[in-house]
């Protein structure tokens, strides 16, 4: 147990104060305040509580829980690695986190085998520090934090929209605009809890896209997509909402396509960000899957032939 007596700071939110002083994420602090593992003057307070001089902040130590997940030697394409972060190109069809029906064979299991003991323990558990996710059938670039400080800093950067994420997608239909922005809030669907939908009650979601190529013979458009926010299924929901669902998407479209591809043809192409520890400017790219590039080449070939 640790005790801190406020000496000088005052009128600062308890979550902001501790995040700065202890290098703990604000989400972690919020949870521990709710669980009464962090008390002020022996009492439970909200994250918005503003600390005052002579306040006594008590922080109970969290037990580190061993997890039952197994490390598995699964081939991964490593794009970049240092002592703080690991960046990989996730394959289409690979689940990021274990869950019901997917206890193994996930990115987490693969990362555990590569990083062994050097993964962030945010949340009081020894678990892989994946700070953002990709859907099962979305391939591409994803960052793993190797320590708590990198995890906290990356989480804050994502929250503050300081990470530029760029995707490429093959959409059904010929998109008329050369580029546009979709600003529509997204929430959990009330009719199907497994789906997301555009809703006035949802959270802000902003997607920018521009046309890379139009393939009239196949009635599809190749898009470059950048997202400011990271809502669940954001790109898939937004493109379907404006009438250009992603080819292969079985949730937000019918999934049917001449190439018999299952799951959305969507690839996380690149990330631009400052290294969470060194602050060096980083730009990393993940090569699109072979099937994706072959489809594009075939589309281009058919355009020339007709």
| Spatial distance between the Cα atoms of 33 and 44, rounded to a whole number of angstroms | 7
Are the beta carbons of 79 and 118 closer than 8 angstroms? no
For position 101, what pLDDT does the model report? 60
- Most confidently modeled range among 62-71, 111-120, 185-194, 257-266: 257-266
CA separation, residue 105 to residues 7, 142, 261 (Å): 50, 17, 21
For position 158, what pLDDT does the model report? 92
For position 92, what pLDDT does the model report? 95
For position 185, what pLDDT does the model report? 96
For position 100, what pLDDT does the model report? 61
Residues 87-119 have pLDDT tens digits of 999 999 998 877 666 678 889 889 888 887 777
CA separation, residue 295 to residues 26, 61, 157 (Å): 44, 53, 35
Q: Which of 246, 175, 113, 269 is nearest to 105 (CA)?
A: 113
Within 13 Å of residue 228, how many CA atoms lie on the same side as its CB?
11
| Spatial distance between the Cα atoms of 105 and 98, rounded to a whole number of angstroms | 8
Reported as a pLDDT band with limits 50, 70 and 90, residue 80 is very high
Task: Record the pTM.
Answer: 0.78
Catalytic residues: 135
For position 126, what pLDDT does the model report? 38
Lowest mean pLDDT among 19-33, 105-119, 225-239, 292-306: 19-33
Average pLDDT value for residue range 234-261:
96
């Amino acid at each position: 147990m640790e005790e801190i007596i406020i000496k000088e700071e005052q009128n600062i939110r308890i979550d902001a104060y501790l995040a700065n002083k202890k290098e703990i994420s604000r989400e972690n602090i919020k949870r521990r305040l709710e669980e009464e593992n962090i008390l002020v003057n022996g009492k439970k307070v909200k994250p918005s509580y503003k600390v005052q001089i002579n306040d006594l902040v008590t922080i109970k130590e969290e037990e580190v829980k061993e997890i039952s997940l197994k490390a598995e030697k699964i081939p991964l394409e490593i794009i970049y690695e240092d002592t703080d972060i690991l960046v990989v190109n996730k394959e289409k069809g690979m689940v990021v986190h274990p869950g019901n029906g997917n206890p193994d064979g996930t990115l987490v299991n693969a990362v555990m085998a590569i990083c062994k003991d050097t993964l962030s323990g945010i949340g009081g558990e020894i678990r892989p520090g994946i700070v953002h996710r990709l859907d099962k059938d979305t391939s591409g670039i994803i960052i793993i934090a190797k320590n708590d400080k990198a995890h906290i800093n990356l989480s804050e950067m994502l929250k503050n929209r300081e990470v530029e994420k760029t995707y490429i997608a093959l959409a059904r239909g010929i998109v008329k605009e050369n580029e546009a922005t979709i600003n529509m809030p997204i929430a959990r669907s009330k009719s199907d809890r497994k789906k997301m939908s555009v809703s006035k009650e949802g959270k802000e979601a902003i997607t920018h896209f521009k046309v890379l190529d139009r393939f009239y013979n196949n009635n599809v458009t190749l898009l470059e997509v950048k997202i400011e926010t990271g809502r669940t299924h954001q790109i898939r929901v937004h493109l379907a909402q404006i009438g250009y669902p992603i080819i292969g998407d079985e949730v937000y479209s019918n999934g049917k396509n001449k190439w018999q591809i299952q799951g959305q043809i969507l690839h996380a192409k690149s990330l631009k960000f400052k290294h969470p520890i060194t602050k060096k400017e980083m730009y990393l790219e993940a090569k699109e899957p072979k099937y994706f590039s072959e489809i594009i080449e075939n589309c281009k070939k058919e355009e020339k032939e007709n």
